[in-house]
Amino acid sequence: MSATINLPTILRGHAGGSRTIEVTGSTVGEVFDHVSRDFPKLGEQLSSPDGGLPVFMNVFVDDEDIRYLAGLDTTVDDHTEITILPAVAGG
């Protein structure tokens, strides 16, 4: 499986300036493992010391927040879009 990851501006510098990257994996966790292998600096940004998601990072699989799906075990397929966004406020 090869998912497309949409990167926010602040992370693109860790992926050669790319807006999107294609990464293989059958779950979000696997995809992130492969990101860490291919783009180590980017990989550092995608995990917290406890192995979970960084608190200020939101990850959406096909526009659904994975915290309300199966977290890093959320499955992905060839058509899946993974979008990473920093936590921002409004109001």
Cβ-based nearer residue to other proteins, 11 or 28:
11
Report how far residue 60's alpha carbon sits from residue 69's, in angstroms, rounded to the nearest whole number.
10
Report how far residue 85's alpha carbon sits from residue 28's, in angstroms, rounded to the nearest whole number.
15
Residues 56-75 binding other proteins (CB under 8 A) are: 56-58, 60, 63-65, 67-68
Q: What is the dihedral of CA 21, 41, 39, 75, to 10 degrees?
A: -60
Q: Does 91 bind other proteins (CB under 8 A)?
A: yes
User: Half-sphere exposure (CA, 13 Å, Cβ side) for 5?
Assistant: 29
Cβ-based nearer residue to other proteins, 2 or 58:
58
Q: Does 51 bind other proteins (CB under 8 A)?
A: no
Q: Does 42 bind other proteins (CB under 8 A)?
A: no
Instruction: Give the interface with other proteins as residue ranges (CB under 8 A).
Output: 8-11, 45, 54-58, 60, 63-65, 67-68, 83, 85-91
